[in-house]
Every structure is written in structure tokens, then in C-alpha cells.
Chains A and B, each alone.
Chain A
Amino acid sequence: MLKVAWSSIRANKVRLLLTSFAIVIGVSFVAGSFVFTDTISTRFDRLFSDISAGVDVYVQPVQPDFGTDFGPIQLSMPESVFDDVMAVDGVADAEAGVGGTAQLVGKDGEVVGGFGPPTLGFSWSEDPDMTPLRIAPENGRPPQAAGEIAIDVATARDKDYQLGDMVGVITTGPVEEFTLVGIANFGDEDNVAGATLVIFEFEEAQRMFGLEGRISQISVAADPGVTSEDLAGRIGAVVPDGVEAITAAQSTADQTAELQEGLSFLTIGLLVFAIIAVFVGSFVIYNTFRIIVAQRTRELALLRAIGATGGQVTRMVVLEALIIAFVSSLIGILGGIVLSQLLAAALSAGGLGFPDGPLTLLPRTVIVGILVGVVVTVVASVLPARRAARIPPVAAMRADLSATPRKDLRTRAIVGVIVVGFGGSLVLVGLFTSISNGLVLLGVGAGLAFLGVSILAPLAARPFALFVGWPIRKAFTVAGDLAVQNTRRQPRRTASTASALMIGVALVVFVAIFGASIKVSIGNTVGEIFPADISASSTNFTSGVSPQFTDELRMLPEIEQVTTLNSPQVRFQELQMDATGSAIEPATSEGMIFTGATPEAITKLAATDGLLVLEEIEGTDLLLGETYTIEFPNGVTGPVEVVGVFTDGNFGDFIITRDRYATGVEVLTDQLVLANASQGVSVDEAAAAADALTADYPNVQVQTKSELVADAESQIDGLLAIFTGLLALAIIIAILGITNTLALSIIERTREIGLLRAIGMSRRQLRRMVRWESVIIAVFGAMLGMVTGAVLGWIVVLALRDEGLGDFAIPVGQLITLILVAGIAGVVAAIYPAWKASRLNILDAIAYE
């Protein structure tokens, strides 16, 4: 049986290639995501250990176990901790460091970096054992006084900075000028992860980060014979509350874990697309094996006639699938390695550099890759294989095999509707459960819905082909007519081929509709909740808008009213509940920020320095009139009374005052500053005046209300483009599926094509026939996908109405483009089968065996 399976594979190389492509792509994505994260983790792990090579223990503020650690939460500890540490027995040497976010201003006046790789600033370490930073003799010297800095080699090279240049630097206040005295390597690297590094003299660093008398971290080297764990324990016993001592190894592990978490959105994204690719691919595989079995009916019947059991025939077909799966999984793993390299290269091009190092291919990657490929292929081929087993031996003797028994359409309709319904309900359940696997339910539900639609699709295939085929028949009489008839001939084959395309198109349509709806909603929401004329925000995640800028803004005659908005993360200690909310300035927020709170509630908030709770969770989580202890990520706690409610969920679960928020951060900057133009001053004039201030604050951007809305929308456009690009892969797999089906159908119809050629059909007409057949299948799939995707999008948008996503929008232009693209894709898919059909030898085709 192995021999028969093997010879069948060898005899059909092209078919093998097309079938395996789907598996290769799916496995590539799975393996690629693993290889990528493993490689990055290994390399960073090594880098972090290199950094801490001469360090045994780090002493640092306790990291908050809730909230994110970027943003204005710059944790620090008193300088006195350093003396405590030095006094500990077993400490050979220690060095205090200060760090934070620092951005360089380029020669063009623009800030360097922003959303992307970190922009780090820290103090120079005198002890070379305690730092990976090295300044080669020809690259100057370390900063030794106020007004001096060193920067990393890569940034100096990219931004064309020379020793002696005056360089602008922004931390928490306005831009300041520094003399560039040194250019530093990071170990042997020019750079680390694309970050820009700014190095100050120690006290200058304290001043720049607003941390006078405070430090961020202490690196400690142990005496010989004292272990890191030991020393960490000893130091831990003497440091004050809120400060911890961890071993360098622990620090490396923590940082690597944090990095992995940061990259997890990429890994998960890749895996999701792997699942989509594999799902679409399984349709292609299923279809291919069905056709193969149909074509080999006579051969399989002969095997049965000479004594093979049904089980043996099934196993033979599955075995053939297994061999294909195994080989293509291996290719897929290689593809994954290539993919991971491409991804790393793309991220590097985007400014995120990765340290050099070997590729990490863990056994787990290979095993999972092969498992995915094999399981999917075998599952997809089992049904066709069982069909093969049901072929009666007498079929070997029958000449006419074209007539396949008609299955009961009603059963198909009922099963299809049930599966669609079940999938749809899962989607709804997934949407309405707050449990964490809601998204998984949503995905499984959508998958089932696709499956159901593909079960129903054969019912629609015949009428659809007539409908779409009508103009084709009119325009290309014979070729068009035959094309339409061919797609109607085996509605199940047409439908399952189209179904693969349906999935890709449905997802694209879903994303487009979802995106368009979000865009409309966000546009409306931003306009509604921030009625202010202009806004100012930081051009990066971390630094925020300096309060000095806000003060200067208040002074402008063109500006009338200024207020700020921040998003604090706090823990309600009594409830052990972590929550994100907003911090406002009650005195100035009226008419600038619309939270749905009554003016009385705002007044009360100001008067009591209390807390407003989101109406939805009042009574369930937080009770009106109750007093709770809230904790900020820096460890500061305080009692707060719930004095009122607000209604808009965009502001999170609670609202507190900016004054209270200020107690929870070391250095206060603002995430969003809102301002109104003075009476008689146009919005553009006010914005221009505010913009003039940013000369000193290059990391602040001033936007009018309409610019703010456009900005929010364009961010969504960018995301949509990425999603659509990745989903295009699923569509390519589906198109190869069409190619495969057509190529196989042509083999099946050899005789018919020979006859057509014999009675005078030209090669051109034949190619046209195949082409139109392909276009009909493609457009059928695209239309099915469009309807499915639209319904799915409609359900999701409707369900998320309460989340501020109530405006269902259909991007008509995109949908029309999609149908056209599907048609063109059909033409492309037909190139090979059409060529093959037109090259068929007439004599072979009509020869009676």
C-alpha cells in the first residue's frame, strides 16, 4: 500500500506542490513565530547577562505588580540607600545610577525617536566593571560636568553628530543644550534594540530627571567567596521599605520575561494568522483529495476488486496525505526560519534593532510544526479517504463514472444552518462574556460559521453560477456557456473551492467593516468627549507634556482655558481590584472634557478631593459614599471617598483629581493638555501660537480638534493595512486552491477537452473557457465571503454598541474593489490550468483506452 501511495505522489508532482503550499504557509507561520521569539529572547538574554557581567546584585525600588511601568511613573529611592548598601558586609563595590526618559533633538529640530524603540537617559558609571558602556579613545571621554553628554555610536552615526557639537536634550522640562563629549559603545554593539542612549554626569542626571537627592538603581559587586544570593539577602535586610535587592541573574530573567511579554502581541498575531492559513489550507487539502479520489475511482475499485479491504484503501489515501504533510511541514519549518529573519529585518528597518547572534531553533518548534501540518492534512483527508473506501469493486468495470449520486439537499441545508447557528451563537457568547477566553470563543465561533457557510455553499453554487454567468454567456457564447456549465456541474466542488476564498475575503471584509465602524465611532467620540479647540500631547509614550509647557500655554493671550487629562492606574486595596481611570482638573475641565458627570459631581470632586465612579460599576464594585484606600504604582496610598458618578466608559472606571494623581508619580507630566481659543481668536491662530511654544518642547505636538480626530483615524488605517496585508496570504492560499481544483478538473475532463479541440475549438477559446470558470468560482467565493464577513461585522459592531462602537459603516468602495480583485485573482488562478488545457494532446485525449 505504501508503494501505491508513493507512486501516486510521484506521478503528480504539480498537484503535490499546490496542495502542500497551503500546509507550508501555515506551518511557516507557526514555526516562524516560535523561531522569532526564541531567537530574540536568547539574544537579549545574553545581552542582559553581558550588561550585568561585573554586577552581582541590583538594588532598586520594588517594581509595582500592577499598572504599566512606562509613562510618568519613574520609580526612585533616596540616595541614603547607597550608604546602607555600602555598609553591608560582603559588598566589594557599589555604584549608584540615575535613569529616565531622555530624547535628543536632531539637527532638523525634530526629536529623535518617539513611538518605537526606547529613548533612554542615565548617569555615567565610573566603574568599568559595573557598566557595559565603553568609550574608545578616539571617541572622546565620559561626561564629567554639567552641560556635557555622551551618546551611543549608532545614534551619533545616524543623526550625524560629531564630538564638540551642541545637542538639544529633553527630559521633563524644556529642551536644553549640551556639548557632546563622548560617543559610547554598548559592549561590542553600536546600539541596543534601536534605543537612543543619552549619558549624563551623575548629578546632572539627577537634575535632568527631577530626581535631586534620589537614585534609580544601585549595582553591587560581591566580595570573593560571597554568593549573589547571599549578598542579595543581606542587603535586602537593611534597605528601607519599597526597595529590593535582586541577583543579577534574577534581573536578567525579569528583563527577558518582560521583553517576551512585550513581544507577545507579535507572537500571538503570527499564531492567529497561522491558524487562519491552516484553516483555509485545510479546505484546499480536503478538496484536492476529494478530486483525487474521484479521479482514481477506477484504480481504487480495481484495488478493491483484487482483494484490498475498504480500510486498506482508506489507509492508502491517508498515507498519501501523511507523506505530503510530513514533507511540506519540513519545508514549512524552513519557511518559518526565513519568515522570522524577514520579520527581524522588517523590525530593524523600522528602527528596532536586535542584537546579533545565532538563530534559535528549539526541538519544540520542529515538533509543533510537524504536528500542525500532519494533523491538519490528515483531518482534511479523512473524509475523502472514507469515500474512497466506499467505492464498490464493480466500479472498476463501469465505463461511465461521471454520474455521482445526488446527496439529499435538505439534510445539507439543515446541517449547514445548524452549524452556522451554533457558530454564530458562540460568536455572541464570546462577545458578551467578560471571561478571558471570550476571544477564543469568538474565533472558534467564526470558524464554525465559516464551516457552516461552506456546507450551505453548494446549494447556492448552481443558481449563482447562472446569475454571474449570464453576462459571460452573452459576451463569450461558447466558451462562456461551457464555463458556466462546468461550474454548475459539480456544485460541491465549486462550492468547497470557493469556500477557501470565502474565508479570506470574509475576514478582510470583517476587518474593513470593523475598522470603518471604529473609525466613525472614534471620530465621533473624540469630538464629543473632548470639545476643546486644541490639544497638546507628547510624541512618545513615556515622557508626557511638561507642566512648564502647560504654564506657558496658560500665559498666551490667544488661549483662554487650559486643562489636563491623565490616566492613572491604581489598586483599590480593600477590594484587591486594579483599575484604570482618569485624572482631571475639576476647576478647568468644564466645557473641555465631557465625562457625563453632573456639574454638582465635579464640584464635589474638587471640594472633597474624592473619586467619581463609572455609573455601570457603581453598586457592584465601588459603592457611592464609601471610602476606599487606593494605592499608586509607586507605593503611595491614601483614603478616597466615592462622591459621585460619571457615565462615559472612555474615561475608565473612576475619575480622581490631578492633585491626587500627582502624589502617585515621582515626576509630574501630563498625557493630554486641552485648551480653548480666546474670544475672537480663530482655532488656527490659537494652535499656531501654541505650536510656537513647542520650539522649546520639540516632543510636544499641538493639534486642533479635527487634527486629533484625523490622527486617531489614521492610526486605525495603519492597523487595518497590516491586518489586510496578512489576510491577503489567506486569499493567496485560496487562489492556489482554485488553481489546484481547475488543474485537477482538467485532467478529469481530458476527453472532453480533446473532443472540443477535435471539433474545432481553438486553444484560445479553451483558455477562455477555463478562465471564466475560474472567475466564476472566485467571484462566488468573494461574494459568499462578503456576505459572511458583513454579517459577522454587523453582529460584532452591534454587540459592542455599549463599548462606544455603535456606528455600523460599510466601506462600499473597498467591497467593490474586493470583488474586482477576486475576478482578477480568478484570471490569475486560471493561467496554469488554462495553459495546461490548451496544451493537451488531442490524440491522447480522445484515444479509447
Chain B
Amino acid sequence: MTSAISVTDAAKIYGTGDAAVTALAGVTASFEQGKFTAIMGPSGSGKSTLLHCLAGLDSLDRGDVLLGDVELGALSDKDLTLVRREKIGFIFQAFNLIPTLTAKENILLPLSIAGHTADPDWYDEVVHAVGLEDRLGHRPSELSGGEQQRVAAARALVSRPDIVFADEPSGNLDSKSGAELLAFMRTAVDDFGQTIVMVTHDAFAASHADRVIFLDDGQIIAELMDPTSEQILDKMKQLGD
């Protein structure tokens, strides 16, 4: 098993003194290449902080993130930008798209920022997979929430990143749109060999993953492999007690 990204003894504290909040208290984990991993936990468990640190959006107070053979902590802002541009894709919960650009322009945005051109076959394949062939000329305000998130997913995949990070990607969607998006993410892993790390608190979303990590108080407290929704809910109940 090769790990796409790994984190060792990650610690992060926000604020100082009485106001100090420990977001991460020594997390060590590694995320397998070509697998779909979900990170779960209640609010304030540190799951979003972990995602941000893994993605090079935030820095750790202690510990290392190793993306492939690159240590993120050692990089300058400029190099981190390049890493995000070349190796990482993002799907956020909302506000994923630039409102002035069409769906197609949004999908191709990371490539144009990097000054690359898209591989047309791959682009067609991704667009086909998210089912957006007819909507490419529309702007975000003319797309439904589900369509917007699928555009974001296509954008995350089109530059063939080493790893895609998703932060509650289905959080703002109705259940049907959410299911479609998650199904597409599953397909990306199964058919294209994409590595995905997703933060969620929704058991149904997490059930699409190969592996679920449970976080609480900044520490990993449990793990499930190939789970079903029921197993996840049980585990959550169990941990909640």
C-alpha cells in the first residue's frame, strides 16, 4: 500500500492562554492512494483543521504533512501555491465557483491559472462523468446547487491532482443531488484511481468511502473499513456515549 499523503503527530492550537483551543492533539494518519477516505467527527473535533492542514491551506504547530515525498511544512507560500495548483483539487461545501465564469471556464480554471491546457479526452471524460455536457455554457447563477457542486467536482478532477480534498461537499444539497455527487466521487476513485479525502458529519456521505476515520478532541479515536451507513451510525452512537 502506497500512501498518497500522510501526517505525523500533527498538533494545532488556536489562540493563547485561557482562550487557547486545541484543534489537533497529535494526529498520525496516512491516506492510501486510489482510496476514498472520510473523516468524521462532531463539530469542534478538529476534522476541518486536519483537512486544511493536509491541503496546505493551514500550517501545523507541530508535526509533518508528507504529500508524496514533499514535506508541506517546509514550503514557502509560493511553493505551497504551486503544490495546490499541481497536486491538489478541492471541493468545498459552497461558494465553489467563480460567478463571472461559465461552467466550462470554472472547470478549466486551475489549468488556466497554471498556464496549462486541458487534455481534451480527459476533459470530455470528466464532463461526461458528471453529466454536465449541456450545461457548460451556463454561469453558476443559472445552475442548480447540485449542478454547481458537480462542476466543482469536475474542476477538482480535471487537472489530475494527486489528491482531492472535499469539505462537506454534499452538505448544502438535497438528498438526491447529494447522492448523485457522492456516486460520482465513488466512480472517480473506482474508475480513475483518484485519491479522495472527505470531511463530513453525514453517515450516508461517509458510507461511500473505503475507510472512515473518527476524530474527537483533536485525536483519532476510531476507524472503520468499507462501512455501511448503519455501521457508521452505530459507531457514532457508541462513541457519543
What 0/1 pattern do residues 754 to 765 of A give for CB contact below 8 A with B?
011111111101
B84 touches A760 (CB 8 A): yes
In the complex the two chains form, is A759's CB within 8 Å of B90's CB? yes
Interchain pairs with CB closer than 8 A, number = 83
Spot the interface stretch: A253-261, A515-523, A823-831, A840-848. A840-848
Report yes or no: A843 in contact with B94, Cβ–Cβ below 8 A: no
A482 within 8 A of B: yes
Interface residue B93 (Cβ < 8 Å from any Cβ of A): yes
Is residue A488 within 8 Å, beta carbon to beta carbon, of the partner chain?
A: yes
Chain A residues near B239 (CB-CB < 8 A): none
Instruction: Tell me whether B78 and A762 are in contact (CB under 8 A).
Output: yes
Cβ–Cβ < 8 Å partners of A478 in chain B: 109, 112-113
| CB–CB B58/A757 < 8 A | no
Say whether A848 contacts B93, CB under 8 Å: yes
A848–B84 CA distance with the chains assembled, in angstroms: 20
Q: Mask for B57-100, Cβ within 8 A of A = 1, else 0?
A: 11000000000000000000110011011101110111111111
Chain B residue numbers with a CB within 8 Å of A402 are 99, 141
Chain A residue numbers with a CB within 8 Å of B77 are 763
| SS class, residues of chain B in contact with chain A | mixed
The verdict on A760 contacting B98 (CB below 8 Å), with A478-B109, A843-B58 known, is no
Q: Which residues of B contact A762 (CB under 8 A)?
A: 78, 81-82, 85, 113
State which residues 743-790 of A face B: CB under 8 Å. Answer: 751-752, 755-763, 765
C-alpha gap A848/B43 in the complex (Å): 13
A403 CB-CB contact with B under 8 Å: yes
Query: In this assembly, does A485 line the interface, its C-beta being within 8 Å of a C-beta of chain B?
Result: yes
Instruction: List the A side residues contacting B110 at CB < 8 Å.
Output: 759-760
User: Is residue A8 within 8 Å, beta carbon to beta carbon, of the partner chain?
Assistant: no
B114 within 8 Å of A (CB atoms):
yes
Does A477 sit within 8 A of B, measured CB to CB?
yes
A755 touches B86 (CB 8 A): no
A613 to B20, CA, bound (A): 94
Most buried by A among B85, B100, B105, B115: B100
CB distance from A476 to the nearest CB of B (A): 11
Interchain CB contact under 8 A, A765 and B94: no
Instruction: Assess the A752–B99 pair: CB atoms within 8 A.
Output: yes
A762 CA to B112 CA, complexed, in Å: 12
A-side binding surface: helix, strand, loop or mixed?
helix
Q: In the complex, how many angstroms separate the beta carbon of A186 from the nearest chain B beta carbon? A: 69
A760 touches B141 (CB 8 A): no
B155 contacts the other chain (CB 8 A): yes
Nearest-neighbor residue (CB-CB) of A758 within chain B: B90
Interface digits, B102-137 against A, CB 8 Å rule (1 contact, 0 not)? 000100011011110000000000000000000000
CA of A42 to CA of B150, assembled, Å: 77
Are B95's CB and A482's CB within 8 A? Answer: no
- How many A residues touch the partner, as a band? 20 to 34
Answer yes or no: A489 CB below 8 A from chain B CBs.
yes
The reply to whether B113 and A759 contact each other, CB–CB distance below 8 Å, is: yes
User: Does B221 sit within 8 A of A, measured CB to CB?
Assistant: no
Q: Does B21 contact A (CB under 8 A)?
A: no
Chain A residues whose CB sits within 8 angstroms of the CB of B78 once the complex forms: 762-763
B201 beta carbon closer than 8 Å to chain A: no
Number of interface residues of B (CB under 8 A): 35
B86/A846 in contact, CB under 8 A: no
Determine whether B52 belongs to the interface, using a CB cutoff of 8 Å to chain A. yes
Alpha-carbon separation in the docked complex, A757 to B95 (Å): 13
Q: Which residue of A lies closest to B168 (CB)?
A: A848
Cβ A757 vs Cβ B99 within 8 A:
no
Q: How far is the CB of A760 from chain B (nearest CB, A)?
A: 3
Contact A485 B100 (CB under 8 A): yes
B13 within 8 A of A: no
Digitize A72-94: 1 where CB-to-B-CB distance is under 8 Å, 0 elsewhere: 00000000000000000000000
Q: Would A485 and B101 be within 8 Å (CB), given that A751-B95, A760-B84 are in contact? A: yes
A724 adjacent to chain B (CB < 8 Å):
no
Chain A positions within 8 Å of B94 at CB level: 399, 848
CA distance A775 to B12 in the complex (A): 42
- Compute how far the CA of A762 lies from the CA of B110 in the bound complex, rounded to whole angstroms: 11
Q: A758-B84, A759-B85, A762-B81 are in contact. Are A846 and B100 (CB under 8 A)?
A: no
User: Smallest distance from the beta carbon of A548 to chain B beta carbons, Å?
Assistant: 80
Closest CB of chain A to B197's CB: distance in Å?
15
Q: Which residue of A lies closest to B171 (CB)?
A: A848
Name the one of B81, B109, B168 contacting A757, with C-beta atoms under 8 angstroms.
B81
Take A486-B100, A751-B95, A755-B95 as given contacts and tell me if A760 and B113 are in contact as well, using a CB distance cutoff of 8 Å.
Answer: yes
Please give the distance in Å from B10's CB to the nearest CB on chain A.
Answer: 16
Residues A403 and B141 in contact, CB atoms below 8 Å apart: yes
A768 to chain B, nearest CB (A): 11
A465-482 vs B, Cβ < 8 Å mask (1 yes, 0 no): 000000000000110011
Contact code string A383-399 (vs B, CB < 8 Å = 1, else 0): 00000000000000001
Q: Are B81 and A846 in contact (CB under 8 A)?
A: no
Contacting pair B115 A477 (CB below 8 A) = yes
Least distance between B39 CB and chain A CB atoms (Å): 16
Residue from B86, B89, B98, B114 in contact with A756 in the complex, judged by beta carbons closer than 8 Å: B98
A366-407 contact mask (Cβ, 8 Å, vs B): 1 or 0: 000000000000000000000000000000000110110000
Cβ–Cβ < 8 Å partners of B96 in chain A: 755
A477 cross-chain contacts in B, Cβ below 8 A: 112, 115
- Which chain A residue shows the least CB distance to B105? A481
The contact string, 1 if C-beta is below 8 Å from chain A, for chain B 26-47, is: 0000000000000000000000
Are A842 and B113 neighbours in the complex by a CB distance under 8 Å?
A: no
Q: In the complex, which residues 155-200 of chain B have their Cβ closer than 8 Å to any Cβ of chain A?
A: 155, 167-168
| A838 CB to nearest chain B CB (Å) | 10
How far, in angstroms, from A481 to B112 measured CA to CA in the complex? Answer: 10
Q: Write out the residue numbers on chain A whose beta carbons fall within 8 Å of the beta carbon of B95.
A: 751-752, 755, 846
Task: With CB as the reference atom, state the residue of chain B lying closest to A488.
Answer: B100
Q: When the two chains form their complex, are residues A760 and B92 in contact, meaning their CB atoms are under 8 A apart?
A: no
A799 to B160, CA, bound (A): 68
Contact assessment for A759 and B84 in the assembled complex, using a CB-CB cutoff below 8 Å: yes
CA gap between A783 and B166 in the complex, in Å: 46
B94's closest neighbor in chain A, by CB? A848
Smallest CB separation, A688 vs chain B (Å): 70
Docked pose: A400 CA to B84 CA in angstroms:
27
Which of A751, A755, A763 has the most chain B CB atoms closer than 10 A to its own CB? A755
In the complex the two chains form, is B98's CB within 8 Å of A752's CB? yes
Give the residues in chain B near A489, CB-CB below 8 Å.
99-100
Among A159-208, those with CB < 8 Å from B are none
Quick check: B155 and A759 within 8 Å, CB to CB? yes
**Smallest Cβ-Cβ distance to B172: which chain A residue:** A399
Shortest Cβ distance from residue B99 to the other chain A in the assembled complex, whole angstroms: 6
In the complex formed, the residue of B with least CB distance to A750 is B95
B60 to chain A, nearest CB (A): 13
A residues 298-350 in Cβ contact with B at 8 Å: none
Closest residue of A by beta carbon distance from B112: A478
- Bound form: Cα–Cα A765–B167 in Å: 25
CB distance from B93 to the nearest CB of A (A): 5
Q: Which of B52, B58, B109 contacts A759 (CB 8 A)?
A: B109
| With contact pairs A486-B100, A756-B98, A765-B113 given, residues A846 and B92 touching in the complex (Cβ less than 8 Å) | yes
A403 — which chain B residues lie within 8 A by C-beta? 141
Q: Mark A430-451, 1 if CB is under 8 A from B, else 0.
A: 0000000000000000000000
B97 proximity list for chain A (CB < 8 A): 755
Closest chain B CB from A522 CB (angstroms): 52
What is the bound-complex CA distance between A761 and B105, given in angstroms? 15
Question: Complex formed: what's the CA distance from A446 to B166 in Å?
Answer: 57
Chain A stretch 479-496: residues in CB contact (< 8 A) with chain B? 481-482, 485-486, 488-489
What are 23 contact pairs spanning A and B, CB under 8 A? Answer: A400-B141, A402-B99, A478-B112, A481-B105, A481-B112, A485-B100, A751-B95, A752-B98, A757-B81, A758-B84, A759-B113, A760-B81, A760-B82, A760-B85, A760-B86, A760-B88, A761-B81, A765-B113, A842-B57, A843-B52, A843-B57, A848-B94, A848-B168
- Footprint of A on B, CB under 8 Å? 52, 55, 57-58, 77-78, 81-82, 84-86, 88-90, 92-101, 105, 109-110, 112-115, 141, 155, 167-168
Which are the 7 A-B pairs with shortest beta-carbon distances? A760-B85, A485-B100, A478-B112, A751-B95, A760-B84, A759-B110, A762-B81
